[in-house]
Amino acid sequence: MFAKLFSNLWGEQEVRILILGLDGAGKTTILYRLQVRLVYVDSADRDRIGTCRDELVSMLDEEELRNSVLLVFANKQDIEGAMTAAEISVSLGLTRLKNRQWAIYRTSATKGEGLHDGLDW
């Protein structure tokens, strides 16, 4: 399903997608909204952002992902007290990524906001 969707966007170029997020971050809701069955961050879960950072750093060190671009969905932006995209980028250490293209998009999976903007990027 992914191959069909993304071949329309990028032609025959091989595309690999890693979906990473802690439990309750909204991964399933986002996939459902996109009607397909990237890193997702629960913007309201300040207590576990460090765990998310550690997992992300570990994944980005993998050989298969060394030259990949990084798209972060800062999910649950509709919840009061959610971290801003700037807070998340600092907490995840994205500002230190010098040799990798990355972007962070504010999303609300339950409302379907920001998802297509991120994929368009």
35 is in an annotated binding site: no
99 is in an annotated binding site: no
77 is in an annotated binding site: yes
8 is in an annotated binding site: no
Edge-to-edge order in the sheet of strand 102-106: 39-42, 70-75, 102-106
User: If we measure between CA atoms, which residue out of 56, 58, 57, 68 comes closest to residue 100?
Assistant: 68
Q: Amino acid letter at 76?
A: K
Annotated binding-site residues read 75-78
Annotated binding-site residues for GTP read 75-78
